[in-house]
Chains A and B, each alone.
Chain A
Amino acid sequence: MRRSRSMSRFKPLKEGRYEAVTFRRRALAGFLIIVACLIALGTRFAFLQIDQHEEFSARSEANRVLTRPLAPARGLIYDRNGILLAENVAAFRLEVSPEQVHDMNAMLARLGDIVSISDDDLTRFNALRKGKHSYEGVPLRLKLSEEEIAKFSTNRWAFPGVDVVPYLTRSYPLGEEFAHTVGYVGRIDENDLGNLDKGDYAGTTHIGKTGIERYYEDRLHGEVGYEKVEVNADHRPLRVLPDRLAPKPGENLYLTIDSHLQEAAEAAFEGRAGAAVAIDPRNGEVLAMVSVPSFDPNPFVNGIAGADYAALLASEDKPLLNRLLRGNYAPGSTMKPFVGLAGLELGLRRPEDTVLSTGEFFIPGQSRAYRDDVRGGQGRVDLVQAIAKSVNTYFYSLALDMGIDRFSSSLGRFGFGQQTGIDLTGEGSGVLPSREWKRARFNQPWYPGETVIAGIGQGYWVVTPLQLANAVAIIAARGVPHTPHLLRAAQRSLDAPLELLPAPPPRKSVIDKPADWAAVQQGMIEVVRSGTARGVDADFPYPIAGKTGTAERYSRTGTEWTSISASPIERHQVLFEAFTPADDARIVVIVALEAGRSGAHDAAPIARKMLDAWLPGDQQRQARAAAATAENAP
């Protein structure tokens, strides 16, 4: 001990016992520090797992669950007899998930060698990409052909992030026949994106662009559904979770159109350009509407090739023009029953009042002659004869007596100069000549000579075939207007019952005195029986009331009217209006031909063919109605 102590001055010796005690103290201190640290760590865990549990739970769910929109199936479109006009068929499209593509441009170039990709496709693809997450698939090419699918499938390995995806695409089995009625859907483009609800259209690629497809987009589209998909960190879907909201398919629409009648009308045109419409005057149901030439709407669904579209646009016959809605026709003599009716209603004429037709009509004090169709005139005519023989002088003088203001307000009651309100978009409103219209259009005063020619449906007059049909339907229904419409019934799902559209509240007749109507109707019956269109009703069981219209295709140069067409058979725009049975009209037909000799010669036969096509169905319905009445009245 002593030695060690003395040595310790120079070199401290190890002191075992002391070191053991020190160690124990230190070990205890160390252990306490450790426990303190672990308690702190435990507290941190508790903070995350208890205090912030809800937040992190939500974030974990958000990580895990991707909500995928499920596009609803678009409603189908049928005619009134249940014939399918627009359906959904299975097709395949190419989708690209940008996240998985390293070099998009190079990939698209390579892909273009296998599957044709147009510039339009690329433009649309790039536009759609902007609004999506990079892991979402963006459609690149629609409606792949079987050959393209096969070619791509063998090269799939070279295109990570590109998939062939099945989808439903719109198809129009009757093609051209309904292009102007049903219209078509097209891919949602940038213009559409601004207008529509992104949520509702989350999974939808197409939207109605024209016709019924556009007008009833809301009904046809349906409601988007959702499915929740569990995804991993790469957004790769692993499984579909049970939490799912099925999409609600769009409503199936049943149109008022009778496709047999439509077909017959189209056939009756025999390739000539024009328009025809048939309306049930009792309720405004459009039974047929034809605008020819037409076009096949199917290529538009998945993007029509630029060249094809350009060809359609450039075509002289204007197949893309919906002549029913936007075709501008001079109504010509078809306007005479309306003018005559206005004269009676205003008290300017009585039915029996006569006018002498000498072949020329002069405004008192003016030297300009307004001609009759027949050189030398048609003698003394009353209203019925004036309508039946289409005597211009009668209506020249009547219009002049009426004056333009009474003229336009009286004729305005029949819907001229305004849209009919049919359930289609893009309807034209025509021109009802009036002082105000001319002032607004040309900033010029009205001249009496313009009133005179307006009396025979010439001059500034412009009507669309639909407007004319609507006006004739008002006459046919003894003055009671019904807004023309195409939608007859809707069906919420395949098994649901048809829901007929509620009838709009009845409107007041625009004709004050039934006797006035009877005189005009008599005139129109005489048109067919003995007048300009005689023979059209041959062997037809119902009396037909009608009126021809033949307007020269004029252009106006200065104050002179000059014919632009030399060929006599193409010289005129020809029209025919008719309703039958004359006393209790169940159908109104309008036929407008862009070029023809006369209304009676070219338009009336088409109308007759339409009536023939309509007749069997009508007779059946009448027989059934009669049987039902007999049953109910024992």
Chain B
Amino acid sequence: MIDELLLEWRHRFVSMWRKPRVDLPLFGALLLLMGIGLVTLYSASDLDRGQVISQALRFVLGLLLMAAIARVPPLTLRNWTPWLYAASVVLLVIVVVHGEGRGANRWLDLKIVRFQPSELLKLTMPMMIAWYLNGRPLPPGWITLGAAGALIAVPAALIAKQPDLGTALLIVASGAFGIFLSGLAWWRIGVLLGAVAGMVPVAWHFLHDYQRNRVLTLLDPEADPLGNGWHIIQSKIAVGSGGLWGKGWHHGTQSRLEFLPEHTTDFIFSVFAEEWGLVGVLLLLALYVFIIARCLWIAAEAKDTYARLLAGAISMSLFVYVVVNGGMITGVLPVVGVPLPLVSYGGTSAVSLLAGFGVLMSIHAHRKVLAG
């Protein structure tokens, strides 16, 4: 028994080195993206090597995690899914009870590492939805939909309560994409969207004042240019002044002179747009489109519903990051703390994203294995 196990693990370990189980186009695109991220960060941090190295280390950590997850067969992931989901929800509850963080309770201090449990949900949420739908007749009916909705709503509500609307939104989106990809009838989608639209006034009632301000500011940033409007205005100035070709690397005055707040994290896209112009922006967006397309391709090639839905939901979530962040810095969406994937400075986000790509790599690597 033990011998067999040992043999099996030895076999796996050896094969890990012989056959790189990564999708090379996706891997290459990710490396390119991370490279762009580091170069932009170097400029945005005003040539602070420390920040760049620390971000690079996180990338390395994330890549290792990605490689590790890529080894785990989707079947194993599927079996772990309910437990992982349950664990992350429990952590969320702990955070809500006693967490720490600036202004919002998002962080869990594990003495060794501080991390945001909500980041875990970015992965466990689509896993859970995929797991659940995998066991249900598809396309889903109202009952399935209701149960899936509950699975999404509980953690989302906990995160929104922290309050971290941006992450809550991303998590809802990742779950919703799972349901969408499972073939939920278009008319049901229509009904749902209608209901959501109807809920907006109610949701407005539950928003914090600062969250409402962000939305109101979006409508008229110039009303309070030095206060609430400052972020949006300065970001738009950064983007707009970049023009077609940009001001050149490390020539972006908006970030270098600190007019642009959060210019290494949430607003790093503004720095990129200022320095590389529209041409750079379009190329970057194209790179994201390529990554998303490749991920969806991998999803489509997967052999079981769980893997497909999981891969599809993860890839489509990526798009939400890009659109919400891009919309925020160009002043069409309210300021919510959504990073630009693999470009914004920040540890947990990069690691959780790369872990997600690890899942995709795993699905890709095991595409020929028939799921049980």
**Are A48 and B289 touching (Cβ within 8 A)?**
no
- Given contacts A31-B293, A38-B323, A45 and B237 within 8 Å (CB-CB): no
Contacting B323 at CB < 8 Å: which of A11, A37, A52? A37
Within 8 A of A (CB), among B175-192: 177, 180-183
Convert B209-246 into 0s and 1s, putting 1 for each residue whose CB lies closer than 8 angstroms to a CB of A: 00000000000000000000000001011111111100
A622 within 8 A of B: no
Residue on B with the closest CB to A64?
B253
A1-35: CB near B (< 8 Å → 1, else 0) gives: 00000000001111110111011111100110011
Q: Which residue of A lies closest to B138 (CB)?
A: A19
> Which A residues touch B299, using CB under 8 A?
23, 27
For A100, what are the chain B residues with a Cβ–Cβ distance below 8 Å? Answer: none
Minimum CB distance partner of B288 in chain A: A38
Q: Measured between C-beta atoms, what is the minimum distance from A17 to chain B in Å?
A: 11
In the bound assembly, the distance between CA atoms of A238 and B258 in angstroms comes to: 12
Q: Count the A-B residue pairs with Cβ separation under 8 angstroms: how many?
A: 145
Chain A residues whose CB sits within 8 angstroms of the CB of B239 once the complex forms: 45, 48-49, 56
With contact pairs A26-B183, A31-B296 given, residues A60 and B254 touching in the complex (Cβ less than 8 Å)? yes
In the complex, whether A132 has a CB less than 8 A from a CB of chain B is: no
Within 8 A of B (CB), among A32-59: 34-35, 37-38, 41-42, 44-46, 48-50, 52-53, 55-57, 59
Whether B282 is near chain A, meaning CB under 8 Å from some CB there, is yes
Q: Is A231 located at the chain interface by the 8 A CB criterion?
A: yes
Q: Are A45 and B258 in contact (CB under 8 A)?
A: no
Check B138 against A49 for contact (C-beta < 8 Å). Answer: no
Stretch at the interface among B20-28, B64-72, B303-311: B303-311
Q: How far apart are B131's CB and chain A's nearest CB, in angstroms? A: 13
Chain A nearest CB, measured from B339 CB (Å): 16
Let me know if A353 is at the binding interface, CB within 8 A.
no
Q: A49 and B242 in contact (CB under 8 A), knowing A23-B305, A27-B181, A41-B327?
A: yes
Residues on B with beta carbons closer than 8 Å to the beta carbon of A14: 137-138, 305
B residues near A48, Cβ cutoff 8 Å: 236, 239-240, 330
Q: Which of B137, B259, B292 lies in contact with A34, CB distance below 8 A?
A: B292
- Across the interface, which residues of A come within 8 angstroms of B182, CB to CB? 19, 22-23, 26
**Contact (Cβ within 8 A) A46 B278:** yes
Q: Tell me if A263 counts as interface (CB < 8 A to partner B).
A: no
Q: How far is the CB of B364 from chain A (nearest CB, A)?
A: 15
CA distance A299 to B39 in the complex (A): 60
Residues of B close to A37: CB separation below 8 A = 319, 323
Q: Say yes or no: B292 contacts A31, CB within 8 Å.
A: yes
What 0/1 readout, one digit per residue, does chain B (314-353) give for beta carbons within 8 Å of chain A?
0010010011001100101000000000000000000000
A18 to B305 Cα, complex, angstroms = 10
Residue A243 interfacial (CB < 8 Å): no
A90 at the binding interface (Cβ < 8 Å)? no
How far apart are B272's CB and chain A's nearest CB, in angstroms? 11
- The minimal Cβ–Cβ distance linking B40 to chain A, given in whole angstroms, is 16
- Considering the complex, which residues of chain B in the window 95-129 have a beta carbon less than 8 Å from any beta carbon of chain A? none
Q: Mark B34-48, 1 if CB is under 8 A from A, else 0.
A: 000000000000000
B273 near A45 with CB under 8 A, answer: yes
Shortest Cβ gap from B270 to chain A (Å) = 10
User: In the bound complex, how far is the Cα of B278 from the Cα of A230, in angstroms?
Assistant: 25
Chain B residues, Cβ within 8 Å of A238:
257
The CA-CA distance from A498 to B177 in the complex, in Å, is: 86
* Smallest Cβ-Cβ distance to B240: which chain A residue: A56
Residues of B within 8 A of A24 (CB): 300
Give the nearest-CB partner of B242 in chain A: A49
Chain A nearest Cβ from B2, distance in angstroms: 36
Q: Does A118 belong to the interface (CB within 8 Å)? A: no
| B146 interface residue (CB < 8 Å to A) | no
A493 at the interface (CB under 8 A from B): no
Asked if A63 is an interface residue, CB under 8 A from chain B, the answer is yes
Residues of chain A within 8 A of B363, CB atoms compared: none
Residues of chain B lying within 8 A (CB to CB) of residue A34:
289, 292, 316, 319
The CA-CA distance from A42 to B323 in the complex, in Å, is 10
CB distance from B167 to the nearest CB of A (A): 20
Cβ–Cβ contact B257 & A59, under 8 A: no
Does B29 belong to the interface (CB within 8 Å)? no
Contact bitstring B163-182, A, C-beta under 8 A = 1, else 0: 00000000000000100111
Within 8 A of B (CB), among A114-150: none
Q: Is B139 an interface residue (CB 8 A)?
A: yes
> Complex formed: what's the CA distance from A313 to B300 in Å?
98
Tell me whether B312 and A38 are in contact (CB under 8 A).
Answer: no
- Docked pose: A53 CA to B237 CA in angstroms: 9
Minimum CB distance partner of B241 in chain A: A60
In the complex, chain A residues whose CB is within 8 Å of the CB of B304: 16
A44 to B182, CA, bound (A): 32
Residues of B within 8 A of A15 (CB): 138
Give complex CA distance A259, B15 in Å.
104
Residues of B within 8 A of A232 (CB): 257-259
- Nearest Cβ distance between residue B251 and chain A, in whole angstroms? 11
Assess whether A38 is in contact with B285, with CB atoms less than 8 Å apart.
yes
Is B73's CB within 8 Å of the partner chain A?
Answer: no
Instruction: List the A residue with the shortest CB-CB distance to B254.
Output: A60
A34 to B183: give the CA distance in the assembly, Å.
17
Given the complex of chains A and B, what is the CA–CA distance between A12 and B140 in angstroms? 11
Chain B residues in 8 Å Cβ range of A230: 253, 257
User: Which of B137, B240, B273, B312 contacts A57, CB < 8 Å?
Assistant: B240
Considering the chains assembled together, what is the distance between the CA atoms of A38 and B237 in angstroms? 21
Q: Is B277 an interface residue (CB 8 A)?
A: yes
Q: Which residue of B lies closest to A30 (CB)?
A: B316
> Contact check: which of A16, A30, A35 meets B181 at CB < 8 Å?
A30
Residues in B whose Cβ lies below 8 Å from that of A23: 181-183, 299-300, 305, 308-309, 312
Smallest CB gap from A26: residue in B = B181
A22 surroundings in chain B (CB, below 8 A): 138-139, 182-183
Please, which residue of chain B has its CB at the minimum distance from the CB of A65?
B253
A233 within 8 A of B: yes
Please, how many angstroms separate the alpha-carbon atoms of A234 and B257 in the complex?
9
Closest beta carbon of chain A to B296's beta carbon, Å: 5
Q: Smallest Cβ distance from B360 to chain A, in angstroms?
A: 13
**Is B281 part of the binding interface, using a Cβ–Cβ cutoff of 8 Å?**
yes
Contacts of B238 in A (CB 8 A): 60
Considering the complex, give the chain A residue whose CB is closest to the CB of B322.
Answer: A38
B237 cross-chain contacts in A, Cβ below 8 A: 56, 59-60, 63
Tell which of A19, A31, A41, A234 touches B183, judged by Cβ atoms closer than 8 Å: A19
Please state if A60 and B253 are interface contacts (CB–CB under 8 Å). Answer: yes
**Distance (whole angstroms) from the CB of A231 to the closest CB of chain B:** 7
Question: Do the beta carbons of A41 and B259 come within 8 Å of each other?
Answer: no
A24 to B299, CA, bound (A): 9
Question: Quick check: B319 and A63 within 8 Å, CB to CB?
Answer: no
Q: Which residue of B lies closest to A8 (CB)?
A: B137
Residues of A within 8 A of B258 (CB): 232-234
Q: Judging by beta carbons under 8 Å apart, are A35 and B289 in contact?
A: yes
The docked-state distance in angstroms from the alpha carbon of A158 to that of B2 is: 71
- Cα-based distance from A12 to B137 in the complex (angstroms): 6
Q: In the assembled complex, how far is the CB of residue A473 from the closest CB belonging to chain B, in whole angstroms?
A: 65
| B241, B309, B330 interface centre (most CB from chain A within 10 Å) | B241
Q: Give the docked Cα–Cα distance between A15 and B281 (Å).
A: 43
B152 CB to nearest A CB, Å: 17
Identify which of A20, A31, A52 contacts B308 (C-beta below 8 A): A20
Q: A236–B50 Cα gap in the complex (Å)? A: 25
CB distance from A96 to the nearest CB of B (A): 21
Complex contact B240–A26 (CB within 8 A): no
List the 4 closest pairs (A to B, CB-CB), nearest first.
A56-B240, A12-B137, A60-B241, A22-B183
Binding site for B on A (CB under 8 A): 11-16, 18-20, 22-27, 30-31, 34-35, 37-38, 41-42, 44-46, 48-50, 52-53, 55-57, 59-60, 63-64, 230-234, 238
A-B contact pairs, 7 of them (CB 8 A): A19-B182, A20-B308, A23-B308, A26-B183, A26-B312, A27-B181, A27-B312
9 further A-B contacts with Cβ under 8 Å, apart from A26-B181, A60-B240, A238-B257, are A11-B137, A14-B138, A16-B304, A19-B182, A22-B138, A41-B326, A49-B240, A57-B240, A63-B253
